[in-house]
Chain A
Amino acid sequence: MSKDIRIKKGLNINLVGAAEQTTSKAVLSNVYAINLNDFHGITPKMLVKQGAEVKAGEPLFYNKNREDMMFVSPVSGELVEINRGARRRILSLKILADKEQAVASHSPLKVDSATKDELKTFLLKSGAWPFIKQRPYDIIANPDETPKAIFISGYTTAPLAAESDYVLQGKEEELQAAINALGKLTPGKVHVSVGSASSSTLSVLSGIELHKVSGPHPAGLVGTQINRIDPINKGETVWTVSPQDLVIIGELLLTGKFNPERIVALTGSCVKAPKYYKTKIGAEISTFLYSSGVTDEKFRVVNGDVLTGSKSRPDGHLGFYNNTVSVIPEGDDYDLFGWNKPIFNKISATRALTFSWMQPNKKYDLNTNTNGEHRAFVVTGMYEKVFPMDIYPLQLLKACMVQDLDEMEQLGLYEVAPEDFALTEFVCVSKQPHQQIIREGLDLLYKEIG
């Protein structure tokens, strides 16, 4: 029996360039990269040296604080580059892919008879563990903790993001295997959310608590759903997994092979024919970017959706957690009296000579211009209109800025991830970096208390 969740507060950002639901096979990438920024808070310890040959699914490095947590290569080939930054911190690893792929194989695990510890060991060893994230702190899950519940959101509301319903088609078996495994890792429930009108593959799975969600963005964010279904209290942990990562976990459990295949939505107004591509984690974005045709103006490639993704370049690589690549125009231009003339071509949460409220379904072609300068927090009540959690967003942001640990705890920092503040950041007239403020707040809390 499904439970309904209706989210009223929020804002749908309708952008030009949604991906058409057809999937092409991307050109094989020569070089694959693992970007260490994708694994927040992990200190890598290399297992192989530059120039070494690795198989797909073979460990490249492990987490220094947790030696059994392996991070594996998406493809077989030669580790050609270890890119280091200040203090020799590893920034990224590049693997030159073999023409003939060799895959490291584990013996498949019988989930039904496996114990919790066996499952954990298998997932840690096989490189699937990093797909499981935890709250508080929005980091890779700590295997020593017992989550009170596991949350999976199959409802897509972020602008131009890959539709879960589409990318999960035909993956019932893998999804069910992954759900069965996750169900063993928690004494609580595995909550799965789908759109209220969707016929998602996720809704037919067993062993889950199904929720039907409706409402504007951020209804699809797992944080919003956790806050509604079973909010996190101090001392509690919940785990979250993206549905597209469940497929990889499921396949690993069934076949023993790490297959980092992704169906990626290439979207955005700068793409001539936005659609889905089948590729692998770490593949060069250029392998599918140009085949859809990109307008020759200045554009920005975003690894992920436009609200939470990270800036990339065409020769950048698909992120570990991403299944969307958005390409939008750069907005580095001045606008004469842009601050006071009527605006018809941009989205606004106010009606101050802006007219997006008149056409809520119109699709906009937004660029990366900030539309104003960074200022102190002045306007109040604005974030609350788009922030559906039972949390005071402005006060929490201010607590993070002044590093008041008590306030941060009390105001609910345990419950949020930076992505939950993407929309408040979008509507912020003071152009404050909300997601960065929350990330820094979480890091501080983790360092001091976690």
Chain B
Amino acid sequence: MSDKKLTLKKRLHIIKHHFRGKKMAPAFNAFHTFLFTPDETTHNGSHVRAADDLKRTMNTVIMALVPVLLFSMFNAGYQHYSAINGFPENFSVIEHFLTWDNFWVGIIKVLPLVVVSYGVGLLVEFIFAVIKGHEVEEGYLVTGMLVPLIVPIDTPLWMLAVAVVFGVVIGKEVFGGTGMNILNPALTIRAFLFFAYPTWMSGDKVWVYEAVERAGGPDAISGETILGYLAQNKAAEMSYSVSDMFWGFIPGSVGETPTFLILLGGLFLIFSKIASWRIMLSAVIGSLVMGLIFNGVVDQGWIGETSKFYGLMSFDFWQHLLVGGLAFGIVYMATDPVTGAQTDKGKWFYGFFIGFISVLIRVFNPAYPEGVFLAILLMNVFAPTIDHYVIQGNVKRRMKRLKNATILPKDSEGEEKELQVETA
């Protein structure tokens, strides 16, 4: 290690002692532990500890999000220029990737969202940590990355800032901070935006950069999402292929489109044992089941082509996973360990209903053809109940064992011996 690093390490160590017991200690510690894992040692109990901590856990989720973020920056420009026919007609996808213009739109539109999300969110976290005298916890590292990826690209930055403050304070800090919250903070922020500024969160103009500004003019952009087309029974006008949906070349919230990269992120999280595969798998099953039911309803002829639900109900059941925020929600939101079900069995139910209800809301929501965030928030509320019943199963098993245990098994002489059970 170079002398310079040694100096930095020693210097920070000395400053840490100056801050000890002071009000700003949590703020300093946050910076310090960002640079260096602390020199804390175990006292009693387990004298050795495993290599990973909460920072590493959160960092792994962020790593799983980086490809999605990069693609979303590309897609921001790609959707914009496709809509205004800004590229020659025979431009291939590779040529699109080689063009700086697409990423430039991402840099000017997506990066500010990221900066505002982290800046405002961490500021609130720091303020709360200093006031309440606890350490700055790592939960917001993931939330801060999720938020810019689940909002429409043209979301005004001030709205995002207001929503982040609301989400962090009401969604998390009032419950006691990371680990204590009931609702997923990122989705609380999304829900706040949706209900407070609905015109900026839904419709056919907000999903593509500049569509709002150009609306009504001669060079208006059509920024309809696939779900938007389907909700209006305009599937025939839609020019997106299944491959576009899978690779993510479609309009939508900033980071929700690249199903392929989300799938990779999900596999990485499962492989690294950070996120629950049970939740992901059961949510996929849940959405497929609901999709199949709707497809069945259409096949039976119970819904006619004139019905307003026809477009979404007749949509191939498995394609629900490729469009909208379903895949993104399943991989990155439903698996939030704090707000999700905490028992292994509970995770199966929790995930299944997220998938099931997402597609249900998606089809029946009259205002907005999407339902993942609502489904996850709804199941966040039910997660403790699900866990309660799972745990009751274990408790009942124990009680049953107690009833059966008052008689000892037959001993070698074949006699039954009564055990003296003293009930407290």
Contact = CB atoms under 8 A, between A and B. Distances in A.
Interface of A: 13, 15, 145-146, 148, 159, 187-188, 231, 233-236, 300, 302, 306-311, 326, 328, 330-340, 343, 346-354, 356, 366-382, 384, 390-392, 394-395, 410-412, 418, 422, 425-431, 433-436, 449-450
A236 B37 contact: no
B273 A330 contact: no
Contacts of A427: 50
B20 interface: no
A412 B398 contact: yes
Contact of B36 (A330, A336, A418, A431): A336
Given A370-B38, A411-B394, A187 B56 contact: no
The 8 A-B residue pairs with the shortest CB-CB distance in the complex, in nearest-first order: A372-B53, A376-B179, A338-B37, A346-B51, A334-B36, A339-B55, A435-B45, A233-B402
B36 to A, nearest CB: 4
Interface residues of B, number: 70
A328 B57 contact: no
Nearest to B43: A311
Interface stretch (B83-91, B230-238, B288-296, B337-345): B337-345
B385 to A, nearest CB: 14
Interface string B35-50: 1111111111111111
Given A330-B41, A354-B52, A410-B395, A381 B402 contact: no
A422 B48 CA distance: 10
B13 A334 contact: yes
Interface of B: 5, 9, 12-13, 33, 35-57, 59-60, 135, 137-139, 176-180, 271-274, 276, 337-338, 340, 342-344, 347, 387, 391, 394-395, 397-399, 401-402, 405, 408, 411, 417, 419-424
Contacts of A306: 46-48
Contact of A449 (B43, B46, B401, B424): B424
Contacts of A234: 402, 423-424
Given A335-B36, A346-B51, A435-B46, 16 more contacts: A15-B48, A235-B402, A236-B421, A307-B47, A308-B45, A332-B40, A333-B39, A336-B9, A339-B33, A368-B47, A371-B53, A372-B37, A372-B55, A373-B53, A379-B337, A392-B391
A371 B423 CA distance: 44
Contacts of B38: 334, 370, 372-373
A348 B51 contact: yes
Contacts of A367: 41, 48
A272 B12 CA distance: 35
Nearest to B396: A410
A396 to B, nearest CB: 10
A410 B398 contact: yes
A339 B53 contact: yes
22 contacts: A231-B401, A300-B47, A328-B47, A339-B37, A340-B59, A346-B50, A347-B50, A349-B50, A354-B52, A368-B47, A369-B41, A370-B38, A374-B135, A380-B340, A381-B344, A394-B342, A412-B398, A425-B46, A426-B46, A428-B50, A429-B54, A429-B57
Contact of A13 (B48, B347, B401): B48
Contacts of A333: 39
Contacts of B176: 376
B37 A431 contact: no
B49 A370 contact: yes
Contacts of A435: 44-46
B48 A436 contact: no
Contact of B53 (A148, A300, A390, A429): A429
B45 A433 contact: yes
B54 A372 contact: yes
A411 B387 CA distance: 13
A191 to B, nearest CB: 13
A16 B119 CA distance: 45
A373 B135 CA distance: 9
Contact of A343 (B13, B44, B51, B57): B51
A13 B48 CA distance: 10
Nearest to B10: A334
A390 B390 CA distance: 13
A392 B424 contact: no
Contact of B178 (A231, A328, A378, A433): A378
B48 to A, nearest CB: 4
Contacts of B12: 334
A384 to B, nearest CB: 6
B44 A311 contact: yes
A430 B49 contact: no
Contacts of A308: 45-46
Given A233-B402, A371-B49, A371-B50, A340 B56 contact: yes
A353 B54 contact: no
A197 to B, nearest CB: 26
Nearest to A354: B51
A352 B272 contact: yes
A428 B49 CA distance: 8
A425 B56 contact: no
Contacts of B138: 375
A352 B344 CA distance: 21
B197 to A, nearest CB: 31
Contacts of B135: 373-375
Given A235-B421, A350-B272, A351-B273, A372 B52 contact: yes
